[in-house]
Amino acid sequence: MGTKYTALNDVNFFKFSEAFSIMIRCEDQAEVDKYWDALTKDGGTPGNCGWLKDKFGLSWQVIPKQLDLCLNNPDPIKAQAAMTAMMGMSKLIVSELEAAVS
């Protein structure tokens, strides 16, 4: 998508930490599933709230575009319900986020 990254590979000196992560904004649940499954297979580790670490230890957040819509709902009670739903998830599930604000 036109974004370039440069990374150093020196496991003896530089270590990955959550201070650097990559966010993937997805169009829908199918895209969330595609990236989540690819990044957690072969030794990746699921985290909370859409976060995961790939098999190399690099942190990623895989989020659907619907997350922003739900968290920024003009009704603060619905927005909080979306936040509560997200906090209880590992991989983000669009239908559950949308149900929280309906």
Number of structural domains the chain divides into: 1
User: What pLDDT does residue 38 have?
Assistant: 95
Which domain range does residue 27 map to? 21-100
Q: Does residue 20 carry a pLDDT above 90?
A: no
Is 14 inside a domain boundary? no
Q: What is the CATH number of the domain that holds 96?
A: 3.10.180.10
Q: Does residue 1 carry a pLDDT above 80?
A: no
Token pair 């990559």 in the structure block, residue:
22
> Residues of 16-40 as b/e, b for ≥16 C-beta within 10 angstroms?
eeeeeeeebebeebebbeebbeebb
Task: Report the alpha-carbon distance of residue 99 to residue 58 in Å, rounded.
Answer: 31
Is 13 inside a domain boundary? no
Is 15 inside a domain boundary? no
User: What pLDDT does residue 9 have?
Assistant: 66
Q: Does residue 83 carry a pLDDT above 80?
A: yes
Q: State the pTM of this model.
A: 0.85
Q: What is the pLDDT of residues 46-76, one digit of tens each?
A: 999 999 999 988 899 999 999 999 999 999 9
Is 84 inside a domain boundary? yes
Task: Report the alpha-carbon distance of residue 51 to residue 91 in Å, rounded.
Answer: 7
Strands 45-46 and 51-53: antiparallel
Task: Report the alpha-carbon distance of residue 22 to residue 47 in Å, rounded.
Answer: 14
Is 59 inside a domain boundary? yes
Cite the DSSP H helix spans in 7-89. Answer: 29-40, 65-71, 76-87
Is 35 inside a domain boundary? yes
